[in-house]
Amino acid sequence: MPLPHRVLVVDDDAMVRTGVRLILDSVDDIAVVAEAGDGDQAVPAVQAHAPDVVLMDLRMPRIDGITATRAVRALPSPPHVIALTTWDVDDAVLRSLDAGAAGFLLKSAGPDDIIRAVRAVVAGDAVLSPRSTRQLLDHLTADGSGAERRRAQAAMAALTERERDVAVAVGHGLLNAEVAHRLYVSEATVKSHLSSAQAKLGVRNRVEVAVLAERAGLLR
């Protein structure tokens, strides 16, 4: 039997850490190997416990999760990082992705979403659950101007039909395997289309692809 995926939980709320541990330790293929109560403890904990995945709170009192994510991702052979957020910040999620996070989860995510997220990043995918993605897009585009909408529409028009299909599916929070199933193509083809779309759109990650698809009106 394969060894379980090793997880480090970094959050200043002990109840959150306990809740996440109980959820992840309930399945055989994931094990929480350590907890940390602030961002300044993240790097030492990674070095001591060699996790495969770090669940990282974005708001902590001494060192925030964005700074800690950047430091963790700068380590040799770094673990994947999943940002945890409650949405009381504006662009913190996008900044955490810029810092190297593989995706994000709302702290209110259900047990299945949390387990699915860990498995997804270990498999090389990104974490954008449908519920979390919808809330992110609502948050980021609530005050979008007509000019932003026109720019997004022009950018999306540069994509091929299949690239737009992939962008829309990503905007709905689907993982690469789920996009492949929906579009009747291979997962490798989805990754290729997504990479091409990101290059044409001038964005760095699938969250920004989703934001442009939303602003262009493709998700409604």
Average pLDDT over residues 97-126: 85
- Quick one: 115 and 10 in the same domain? yes
| Backbone angle region of 171, left / alpha / beta, with phi > 0 → left and psi within -120 to 50 → alpha | alpha
Tell me, yes or no, whether 150 and 123 share the same domain: no
Total domain count, the chain: 2
Long-range contacts of 159-163 (CB under 8 A, 24+ apart): 159/197, 159/200, 159/201, 160/193, 160/196, 162/193, 163/193, 163/194, 163/196, 163/197, 163/200
The domain in which residue 160 lies consists of 144-215
**What's the pLDDT score for residue 14?**
94
Query: What pLDDT band is residue 215 in, cutting at 50, 70 and 90?
Result: confident
For residue 137, being part of any structural domain is answered with no
Mean pLDDT over 61-77 rounds to 95
Treating both helix axes as pointing N-terminal to C-terminal, what angle do 206-215 and 187-201 enclose, rounded to 10 degrees?
70
82 pLDDT exceeds 80? yes
Is residue 134 situated within a structural domain? no
- What pLDDT, on a 0 to 100 scale, did the predictor assign at position 147? 79
| pLDDT 10s digits, 181-213 | 999 999 999 999 999 999 999 987 787 888 888
pLDDT of the residue at 30: 96
Residues 207 and 128 sit within 8 Å (Cβ to Cβ): yes
Mean pLDDT of the chain: 87
Q: How does pLDDT run across 118-171, given as a tens digit for each residue? A: 998 888 777 766 666 666 666 666 655 677 888 889 999 999 999 999 999 988
End residue of a domain, out of 128, 162, 184:
128
The answer as to whether 51 is a domain residue is yes
Considering the domain boundaries, does residue 139 fall inside one? no
Kindly list the distances between the CA atom of residue 56 and the CA atoms of 19, 47, 97, 126, 138, in Å, as whole numbers in the listed order.
14, 15, 12, 15, 22
Position 144 scores a pLDDT of 57
103-106, strands of its sheet edge to edge: 30-36, 5-10, 53-57, 80-85, 103-106, 127-128
Question: Which CATH number does the domain housing residue 150 bear?
Answer: 1.10.10.10
pLDDT digits (tens, 9 = 90+) for 16-26: 999 999 999 99
Same structural domain, 110 and 154? no
Whether 110 and 18 map to the same domain: the answer is yes
Question: Which residue reads 């380590």 in tokens?
Answer: 75
43 and 123, same domain (yes or no) = yes
In a shared domain, residues 149 and 93:
no
Q: What is the pLDDT of residues 39-50, one digit of tens each?
A: 999 999 999 999
Say which DSSP state 75 is in.
S
Domain boundary residue, one of 104, 128, 152: 128
Residues 25 and 105 in one domain: yes
Domain identity same for 42 and 148: no
* pLDDT in the model for residue 45: 97
User: Nearest-CA neighbor of 52 among 98, 14, 2, 113?
Assistant: 2
* pLDDT number for residue 87: 65
Give the CATH number for residue 31: 3.40.50.2300
- In this predicted structure, the answer to whether residue 76 has a pLDDT above a threshold of 90 is yes
Structure tokens at 174: 């689907």
Residues counted in the chain:
220
| 32 and 98 inside one domain | yes
Residues 66 and 158 placed together within one structural domain of the fold: no
- Domain boundary among the residues 101, 128, 155 is at 128
pLDDT value for 196: 95
Strands 30-36 and 5-10: parallel
The pLDDT value given to residue 205 = 79
Same domain, yes or no, for 151 and 95? no
